Amino acid sequence: MAEGRDESIKKLFDAKSAKVNTNRGEEYFADLYVKCQKRLGELKAMPATGGGVDLRKVLEEDGFERRDFLKWASATTAMLMLPASFTPLVAEAAEVMNRIPVVWIELSDCAGNSEALLRSDGPKIDEIVLDIISLEFHETLQAAAGHQAEKQLEEALELFRGKYILFVEGAIPLGIDGNFGTLGAKAETFKDHLLRLADGAAAVVAVGSCATYGGIPAAAPNPTDAVGVMDIVKGKPVINIPACPANPANIVGVVLHYALTGSVPELDSLLRPKFAFGYRIHDNCERRAHFDAGEYVEEWGDEGAKNNFCLYKMGCKGPMTFNNCSIIRYNESVNWPIGVGRGCIGCSEPDFWDKYAYERPMANAHIKAPTGGVERTVDQFGLGLLTAAGIGIGIHAAASVMAGKKNSDEKDA
Amino acid sequence: MKFDYKKIERMTPAMRIIHWANAICMIAAIITGLYIAHPYYQSFIAEGAVDKYVMAWNRWVHFISAIIFDVTSIVVVYLYFFSRFEKPYRKLIPNAKNVKEFGEVVLNLLTLNRRKRFDSTHSDSFNTTYFTIFHLLLFFMLFTGLQLYVHGLESGESSIGAWWPAFLHITTDWTIPVTGGTLMDVRIAHHITMWLIIVWIVFHIYYQIWRTIFWEEGDIAIVFGGSKFVKDKE
Amino acid sequence: MIKKDIIEKIEGEADVVFTKKNGVVDDIDLIFPYSRGIESILEGREYRDALVIAPRVCGICSHSHLIAAVNAIEDGFRKANIAFELTEKARCIRDFALSCELIQNHIKWLYLVILPELYKINRLEIPGDLIKKASKITYAITKAMAIFTGQWPHASYVVAGGVSCDPSYVEVLQAKALVDEVLEYMHEALFNPKEMSILKDMESVFTLLEKADILSLCMHTENFLALGDTFFSRSGVYKEGILSKIDIEKIEEITRYESKAKDVLYDHEFVEVGPLARALINQDEIVNGIYKEYKSGIWSRIFARIFEGYTLTLKAKEILECMDVSQQSCVLSHHKKSLSFSGIGIVEAARGSLVHEIVIKENRIDTYNIITPSQWNLSRGSVNKKGVARQAVRGARSKEEAYLILRSFDLCSVCTTQ
Ligand code: HEM
Ligand code: SF4
């Protein structure tokens, strides 16, 4: 952990700044355009690795028109913060995405991300695009079980060595020498499993907050000593897509970006792609006007709640949370937590279970004194401090007055 | 015993302006900061959100005072080293003389003015240290506050150019790991430090009044007229 | 001849050890790879925080855990003499969302678990459109749900005393259109509403089972339990054909050191929970008819589950139709003073009865205990008294058959160990 902290500090200073650079000038994009074209050409020449599914055909079968697809492509281009001229390239990238082998593993998790992603959710075309990425191996979705699956995994690892993207869902429990989580006949610990698979990967993508920071298993008191992927995997590009559950659109975005450019997207200091985690929820929140106006929901179901007032006083953590759910939302963009009147719990931030996910404003957050034990809100701490100072001053003042009286008595005498 | 009073200058006009600018801004920053932390009054007027802007005004006032603090802080740092009047940094060097003076002033306070063995014609080293603590707290406020602020400029642009957010990131991003690793920790640190400053202020005011009464040298006048009177023993 | 077979993986995470005797499966042992210690994470936090943490127990039935948590808190409030009555609207929204979670779960299970497994057993090629069929329904239904819940999985729109959302009539209509879409599909592929007969995909299940000669494979002691009195289920025990009332006190949880999961018993016996149990206790005529013929065999279990998905879709539509959006969303204001109470929250989740038990001391969670549906079905027991699933796999002629039996309970290893 200490090492991770040091590294992140170093990174903070090396980082060019956390800003989201949306406009790098024409020259840059012209260059990128050519690079992407070349890359797509190469990919096209490669055989599809999965079952050889053809996106065009799948879309047609599902009754999507080319126009729908292009609409999706232009929305995705915008999401990736590329200029509109890249739309045809993004569309093409989606079509050749099945050339990129993907291995997906689940560690200590609740299956919520796979659930959000591969079975139920995501803008329709996102989902289909995901269906056709060549998932070489997925533990939950795998039709094969047991030894057969393990064999399949070994084969995939060998065949695509150095090329596949490893998606990891879930935290890595390190407690009792990693024996909180073991896999397979050889009882390999999660940590060893992850390291072995990461070794041959082109990049490792941590999906969800558990894989990114340890998430719920790592919440205090962290019974299993769980950590995230970036604490274990070193010397490989790691991309984090936190949130609980991770938003499918962002996962697609990462794969697409990789297909398109052959490189990982620009990341912030927590290794999150800036196209998704560059802005705070609060910056694009539909209730922001009410925040500025000072109109807040004070109680669940009150008049303010009926009028969609801001949820800041109900403990919304949107102002300190980087994510794009206020723009792309969840479940085919139908809604999102703030949309149903529940504040943001900061699920894409580190340690959010302990530092964000409580249902009260941050001023009412309970914080522990450095000595441990006492738990008070910041204001209670502050008022305590002030009272102590006040008492000290009172005593000093009273004593001074007494002393002063004595002095003048003496003088008078 | 009879005293003659000699008038001595303790604060230049510039210093007094800074003092009062800081004082006013501090009150404004505390009032608005507390509102930002927990909006304690509710605007339930039947008006459209656009016409009210209660939080926005609070934040505006808060940031304006912050910007004024920025400027005064920079001037203060300059004066610490290059003031032609009094160079406070000299009083901070822990040499024998300063340490002794510091101890004497503390003793003076603790013995309730029974013992006063130092020269009160200039800012003593206890006084200077105490003010330095304030400026350090204020700097911490500025760094954490500007860190919270810069995330509203995440497009990388601002009304005064792209250099401003970039500059703020470079100068304040360190507050995240230092306070505990998340933006929330920065916020809590910002809030706690406000209380430290309030405690500082309370003692500051008390001490000035106490000095005025017990030293009988009109210390409280320093901050208004710039000078006080020192007893001149005949 | 007893042969311990090697470990095989099931449902992504759990490992199964088979013991074979004379060529048929004699016993199994389930090994769960990890536990996260969610209960101990909950302890010490403020009780309201349970409403955001509880859904994260399981990504597959997150909403059921949410409702169980809020039920436990509300039960505790009532026991602490805090009087309130949920509005019809709040209740409707919670029930609607719960139906949606069950529907999508059952349908996914049919297309992604049962059908592929059946094709495999018959050595037939798995049709390529199963995933598409599953996602068609689950898209629509989770979307309908998210209109009220904000997101699925891991929604947290429920608060003590109601819900936080305040849907407009337009949103209700939007949800209704989505439910209609699902119903239409079900009437095409699963059930014929007029004759109450099974259609295409359900027929495939039946013929595949018949062909493999396993329609009534997988029997156990015929002991069923449902704990929840809800809008779609009644509580009761159904033992060898006799229905009786439940007594919460008879639930017993036993920690077994060799496993990361705890055993649960009712009245010293292992019981099956889930859709089949619910239908029998509800005295559903159609399911009862099938049960008479196939007992606790695979077909009864599959039918009961999918049929429940169908009836819930009808219920979901009904709920939307009678929802009055003008009512209050939440009736409780936040209690400033510190509270101590204990409560039990029961929910009939996709896989059966889910129980959350809480003890709150001065607003803090003192103990939090979760009993999940899979725990009931997958309890180990001892050599003499085996858990339900262990009884059921006995006699399976191949590993594939044993798998199918296990999966007919729709197991969830995440929930089992938490
Ligand atoms: C030295 C005097 C200052 C005091 C007493 C003060 C106090 C506060 C307090 C109490 C809060 C609320 C924190 C919470 O939510 O718990 C706050 C928030 C904030 N302060 Fe300050 N502050 C001071 C200076 C500054 C400075 C110099 C800046 C720099 C621009 C600043 C920027 C902010 C920002 C951006 C917020 C968060 C508001 C939001 O995100 O909406 N503050 N301040
Ligand atoms: S609801 Fe949350 S994110 Fe939206 S404006 Fe209010 S505080 Fe910001």
* pLDDT (tens digit per residue) in C190-245: 998 888 888 989 999 999 999 988 877 766 778 899 999 999 999 999 988 889 99
As beta bridge partners, residue C381 has: C386
Give yes or no: residues A135 and A174 share one domain.
yes
Chain A residues touching C330 at Cβ < 8 A: 299-301, 305
Residues B128 and B202 in one domain: yes
Does A115 sit within 8 Å of C60, measured CB to CB?
Answer: yes
Both tokens assigned to B197: 């400053």
Domain that holds residue A203: 22-277
Does residue B31 lie within any of the structural domains? Answer: yes
Which of residues C14 and A278 earns the better pLDDT score?
A278
Q: B18 is in which domain, residue-wise?
A: 12-83
Report the alpha-carbon distance of residue C91 to residue B12 in Å, rounded: 71
| Residues C393 and C405 sit within 8 Å (Cβ to Cβ) | yes
How many residues are listed for chain A in this entry? Answer: 413
How far is A145 from A385, CA to CA, in rounded Å? 61
Note whether B142 and B202 are same-domain residues: yes
At residue C245, the pLDDT reads: 92
Neighbours of A172 (CB within 10 A): 32
A405 belongs to a structural domain:
yes
Of A22, A317, A350, Cβ closest to residue B181: A350
Within this chain, do residues A103 and A252 fall inside the same structural domain, yes or no?
yes
- The first and second tokens of residue A188, run together, are 């390999």
Beta carbons of A301 and C329 less than 8 Å apart? yes
Last residue of a domain, one of A253, A277, A301: A277
- Same domain for A139 and A188, yes or no, is yes
Given this model, what pLDDT does residue A183 score?
60
What does DSSP assign to residue B188?
H
Burial C205-239 (b: 16+ CB within 10 A, else e): bbebbeebebbebbbbbebbbbbbebbbbebbbbb
The CATH number for A344's domain is 4.10.480.10
- Please judge whether B43 and A294 are an interchain contact, meaning their C-beta atoms are less than 8 angstroms apart: yes
**DSSP E strands: which ranges in A266-393?**
366-368, 375-377
pLDDT recorded at residue C384: 79
Residue C129 has pLDDT above 80, yes or no: no
- The complex's ipTM works out to 0.88
Provide the b/e sequence for C349-365 (b: ≥16 CB within 10 Å).
bbbbbbbbbbbbeeebb
Task: Read off the pLDDT of residues B40-51 as tens digits, 9 standing for 90 and up.
Answer: 876 555 566 556
- Give the bridge partners for A411, in sequence order: none
More confident site: C412 or C47: C47
Structure confidence at residue C309 as a pLDDT band (50, 70, 90):
very high
B188: left (phi over 0), alpha (psi -120 to 50) or beta: alpha
Tokens of A285: 């929140």
The answer to whether residues A32 and A7 belong to one domain is: no
Residue B228 lies in a domain: no
> Which tokens is C3 given?
């042969």
The residue in chain A having the minimum alpha-carbon distance to the alpha carbon of residue C126 is A143
Residue B148: exposure state from Cβ atoms within 10 A (0-12, 13-18, ≥19):
middle
| Alpha carbon distance A68, A60 (integer Å) | 11
Rounded to whole angstroms, the Cα distance separating C18 from C26 reads 8
Pick the residue with more confidence: C413 or B11? Answer: B11
Residues in chain A with pLDDT values less than 50: 1-3, 9, 12-17, 51, 118-124, 140-145, 413
Between 3.40.1160.10, 3.30.565.10, 1.20.1250.20, 1.10.645.10, what CATH number should domain C2-416 receive?
A: 1.10.645.10
* Selection from A59-68, C119-128, C164-173 with the highest mean pLDDT: C164-173
Q: Which amino acid is at B9?
A: E
Task: Give whichever of A127-141, B32-46, C145-159 has the largest mean pLDDT.
Answer: C145-159
For B77-96, how does the pLDDT look when each residue is reduced to its tens digit (9 = 90+)? 999 999 888 888 888 888 99
- The residue among B38, B68, B83 that closes a domain is B83
Report how far apart, in Å, the C-alpha atoms of C104 and of each of A126, A284, C324 are.
19, 31, 25
Residue A413: predicted pLDDT = 45
Residues B167 and B68 reside in one and the same domain: no
pTM, two decimals, is 0.89
For chain C, the structural domain boundaries read: 2-416
Provide the token pair at C365: 């969670």
The dihedral through the CA atoms of A247, A324, B142, A271 has a sign that is positive
Please give the biggest Cα pair distance in chain C.
Answer: 69
Q: Is A294 on the interface with B (CB under 8 A)?
A: yes
Inspect the interface and report whether the beta carbons of B169 and A19 lie closer than 8 Å. yes
Verify that A88 and A186 share a domain, yes or no.
yes
Task: Please check whether residues B72 and B90 belong to one and the same domain.
Answer: no
- At C379 the three-state DSSP class reads coil
| Residue A89 near residue A44, CB atoms below 8 Å | no
**Residue A17 included in any domain:** no
Q: Is the residue at B229 inside a domain?
A: no
In a domain, A16, yes or no: no
Q: Are residues B122 and B173 in the same domain?
A: yes
pLDDT at A132: 53
pLDDT digits (tens, 9 = 90+) for B152-196: 888 777 888 888 988 999 999 999 999 988 899 999 999 999 999
Q: What number of H helices and E strands is found in chain A?
A: 19, 11
Same-domain check for residues B96 and B117 = yes
Whether B42 is in a domain gets the answer: yes
pLDDT of residue A119: 39
Q: Who has greater pLDDT, B147 or C112?
A: B147
Per-residue pLDDT, A48: 67
- Choose among C103, C99, C38: nearest CA to C69: C38
Say whether both A84 and A165 belong to one domain. Answer: yes
Would B35 be classed as within a structural domain?
yes
Per CB-CB distance under 8 Å, the chain C contacts of A345 are 52, 156
First to last CA, chain A: 72
Strand order in C242-244's β-sheet? C223-226, C236-239, C242-244
- Of A277, A310, A335, the one marking the end of a domain is A277
A152 exposed, middle or buried (CB, 10 Å; 0-12, 13-18, 19+)? middle
Give me A88's structure tokens: 């045809």
Domain shared by A62 and A77, yes or no? yes
**Predicted confidence (pLDDT) per residue in C392-403, tens digit:** 888 888 878 888
B21, B53, B83: which is the final residue of a domain? B83
Please indicate, yes or no, whether residues A317 and A399 belong to a single structural domain of this protein: yes
Phi/psi at C20 (5° precision) = -105, 150
Residue A38 belongs to some domain of the structure? yes
How many domains does chain A fold into? Answer: 2
* Pocket probe mutation, ligand 2, options A280, A312, A345, max atoms within 8 Å of Cβ: A312
Q: What is the pLDDT of residue B234?
A: 46
Neighbours of C179 (CB within 10 A): 25
Asked whether residue B111 falls in the same domain as residue B181, the answer is: yes
- The counts of H helices and E strands in chain C are 15, 15
Which chain A residues have a beta carbon less than 8 Å from that of C37?
217, 223-224
Mean pLDDT over residues C172-182, rounded? 94
Cβ-nearest to C46 among A121, A342, A358: A358
Residues B98 and B155 in one domain: yes
Of C276, C278, C279, C280, nearest to C299 (Cα)?
C276
Task: With respect to residue B98, please indicate whether it lies within any of the assigned structural domains.
Answer: yes
Examine the domain organization and report whether A48 and A92 are in the same domain.
Answer: yes
**CATH number, domain with residue A232:** 3.40.50.700
Tell me what pLDDT residue C6 has: 46
Any domain includes A105: yes
- Residue A55 maps to a domain: yes
For ligand 2, pick from A281, A317, A325, A349 the residue to mutate: most ligand atoms within 8 Å of CB.
Answer: A281
Same-domain pairing of B105 and B170:
yes
- Per-residue pLDDT at B147: 94
Task: Identify the residue whose C-alpha is closest to ligand 1 atom 3.
Answer: B29
Q: Are residues B154 and B51 in the same domain?
A: no
CB neighbour list of residue C8: distance below 8 Å, 6 or more residues apart: A145, A146, A147, C15, C16, C18, C399, C403
> Is the CB of residue C67 less than 8 Å from the CB of residue C347?
yes
Decide if B113 and A400 are in contact by the 8 Å CB cutoff. Answer: yes
**Of the residues A246, A277, A308, which one is the last residue of a structural domain?**
A277
CA A380 to ligand 1 center in whole angstroms: 18
Residues A68 and A164 in one domain: yes
Query: Which of helix, strand or coil describes residue B81?
Result: helix
How do beta strands A238-241 and A203-207 pair? parallel
pLDDT of residue A42: 85
* Distance from the alpha carbon of residue C60 to the mean position of ligand 2, in angstroms: 28
Number of alpha helices (DSSP H) and beta strands (DSSP E) in chain B? 9, 2
Confidence (pLDDT) at C7:
46
Average pLDDT, chain C: 86
Spatial CA neighbour of A89 closest among A134, A147, A43: A43
Number of domains in chain B: 2
| Mean pLDDT value across chain B | 89
